[in-house]
Copies of this chain bind each other. A is one copy, B any other.
Amino acid sequence: MKIYIFRFGHRLERDKRITTHCALVSRAFGACKMFYSGQEDPSFENSVKEVQEDWGGNFTIEYIPDWEKFFNINKDKYYIVHLTMYGTAFDDFAKNFNKTFKKGLQKQKKDLLIFVGSQKVPTAVYHFANANVCVTNQPHSEVCALGVLLNALVDYRTVKFSGAKIKVKPNLKGKTIVKN
């Protein structure tokens, strides 16, 4: 089962760093690809590519001009989890997902898609999502929500970053970078 992210409603300038952070978090926790809608932004895409050139991996980004069309065509390929502060608890969801849903998806050859809002998310999304999941019911950050959910679904230690030029050797008191 692969993990995809859909970043909805990206805005140039305002969301540049937040969307970049979402993409880097997705990559770090082993997602294979981020789709994004809203305004096309080669600058954010390049920031992520630059990180990947050094740190490795095969994470990709694709701009989707028409998000409704995308979901009309593709939604049955995915089990869609919409991250929203109005949803039900991510930890309960993750427990069920890891125990049972995951095997079901593997049998159906479906992948997981995590839908991350930016601008106001249309009501339709709450309905076509297979699950509306929150990380606390407080307003905070889609970057945090995405990271906390991914961490509950993925063992980050198993994620591979092929072609990395550099990697970190964990250090108690400083920085150690090892060249590959």
Q: Contact at B86–A141, with CB atoms within 8 Å? A: no
Q: Contact at B174–A24, with CB atoms within 8 Å? A: no
Identify whether the interface residues of A are mostly helix, strand, loop, or mixed: mixed
Q: How many copies does the complex hold?
A: 2
Contact code string A116-146 (vs B, CB < 8 Å = 1, else 0): 0000000100110000101111111101111
Q: Which residues of A contact B (CB under 8 A)?
A: 14, 17-18, 21-22, 24-25, 27-29, 51, 55, 84-89, 123, 126-127, 132, 134-141, 143-148, 151, 156-157, 159, 161, 167-168, 170-177
Which 6 A/B pairs are nearest by Cβ-Cβ distance?
A144-B147, A21-B141, A137-B168, A24-B140, A28-B138, A143-B143
